[in-house]
Amino acid sequence: MPRKPDPSLTVKEHFARLVHELYSLGDGRDGSEAWQLHRSRVRGFQECGRLLGLMDLEDVQTIIDAAHLDIFGEARLDRRERIDGIGAKAERGEWDDFDAPAYERYKQKAP
């Protein structure tokens, strides 16, 4: 008798496809309505998968990171840092770059 496929694997594969489609639409910075709508679909699907116990937060993050790397060619956090720069770190509460005095930080940026 053939075995039924593992439902969690099917859910994870579908979630990976949804995330891949989302990132294929871009990164959402342009405010695209299509991107916002698809992001809502992805969020709803991942919440459903988590509530049913078919995937956990670690699965979700692994799938998101893999899709991001595949579509954009760089890790999510690396891309965020490259695009948003040092100001975004402060917004996220990451103050390590501000430990050095301002004159040292500005000296490092000079050509």
pTM across the whole model = 0.67
Say how many C-beta atoms besides its own lie within 10 A of residue 49's C-beta: 20
**Cβ-based neighbours of 61, under 8 Å, separated by 6 or more:** none
Say how many C-beta atoms besides its own lie within 10 A of residue 17's C-beta: 12
Q: For the ranges 6-15, 34-43, 52-61, which has the lowest average pLDDT? A: 6-15
> Do 27 and 36 form a contact (C-beta atoms < 8 A)?
no
Per cent of the chain over pLDDT 70 is 68
pLDDT reported for residue 50 = 92
Q: Which amino acid is at 31?
A: G
pLDDT in tens, 68-110: 999 988 888 787 777 776 556 566 666 666 566 766 766 655 5
Backbone angles phi, psi at 106, to 5 degrees: -70, -30
